[in-house]
Amino acid sequence: MNFFYQSRVESFSSFLSNDNTYPAHLHRQVEIMYVLSGELEISVEQQVYYLHKDDISVTFPDKIHSLNTPESSQVLLLVFDVDFLQDFRPAFTECIPVNPILNLNNLTEHGKNALNWLITLSKNMPATADMPNIEDLPNHPVISDTTKIVDEQKDISPNLLYTKSYLTILLTDIFSYLDLEKRGGTPSRNICEDILIYLDQHFQEDISLESTAKDLGISKFYLSQIFSNKLHTSFPSYVTARRLDFAEKLLATTDRSVTDIAFDAGFTSPRTFFRSFQAAYNTTPHQYRKSHNKFMS
């Protein structure tokens, strides 16, 4: 699948990621990315930007974007709802940046210190193979300064209040630098975004190209052309991939039966689910659960 709507339930998440490559997607949250080392490309609404160490990107809600690491990269990702910090909601919902890229040097000392703390707070998030603990990263001036601060104040426990405070300081610096332009009239999404959001809300149901086109008020031929020409996949392939993504998360985090997961994800039969999962993940659902679910023996 080349394109999908990413559904998140957390109001805020922060993590460190190696060699980040992610297909075109969008979500309702704001996404701030800070490059710790290496280089990567980010495409936002088909505009490509090349990021290097200490560059920062800010992706506004419901903006189609993708990431690609040609060789290697290490980044901090901050993802949060527009309602997480109410003071910034108007800017995120009523404006768009002319250029969503800035650099660490564009921040004040307050902003740099806030970023230091946000990096440190991320070490308390669960680490996976591609989300290492901060100690595993190479020496970096921001990380080094932060580690020193933590060593001197070990009695301070990071919590949501700290997160909101540091993020507020960081965003104040970011918006002082970014050149924003007002959206014309009521903010609206393009047809691709409308399609992806609709499918994110209905992929578990018995949907078809015809029923989706009818609900969206367009012809099935136009909908099919959008998938072929703009999303570079077919309607059935997209829906199957979205269902598999949903099922994969349930396999890794719950003890529900594979059959229940198959039906809950929208598959019409366990056999279809097994065949599709095997083709996409090169393993069976049971084998995948055995190697990825930490909560089942």
DSSP string, 34-78: EEEEE-EEEEETTEEEEE-TTEEEEEPTT--EEEE-SS-EEEEEE
- pTM: predicted TM-score of the whole model, two decimal places: 0.65
223, two tokens:
């909908």
Q: Is 12 helix (H, G, I), strand (E, B) or coil?
A: strand
pLDDT of residue 215: 96
Identify whether the C-beta of residue 169 lies closer than 8 Å to the C-beta of residue 111. Answer: yes
Q: Choose between 22 and 163: higher pLDDT.
A: 163
The whole-angstrom separation of Cα 15 and Cα 13 is 7
Residues with Cβ within 8 Å of residue 151, at least 6 apart in sequence: none
Which residue in the block uniquely carries the two structure tokens 């366990």? Answer: 270
- Each domain of the chain, given as residue ranges in start order, spans 3-182, 191-292
Residue-wise pLDDT for 34-88, tens only, equals 999 999 999 888 789 999 999 999 999 888 788 889 999 999 999 999 999 999 9
Domains 3-182 and 191-292 alike in fold: no
Give me the percent of the chain exceeding a pLDDT of 70. 80
- Selection from 277, 288, 283 nearest residue 254 by Cα: 288
Integer Cα distance of 181 and 294 in angstroms: 46
Distance CA 246, CA 181 (A): 36
Q: How far is CA 282 from CA 130, 239, 275, in A?
A: 19, 19, 10
Which CATH number is associated with domain 191-292? 1.10.10.60
Q: Which CATH number does the domain 3-182 belong to among 3.90.1150.180, 3.40.50.2300, 2.60.120.10, 1.10.1740.10? A: 2.60.120.10
Residue 213 has a CB neighbour count (10 Å cut-off) of 19
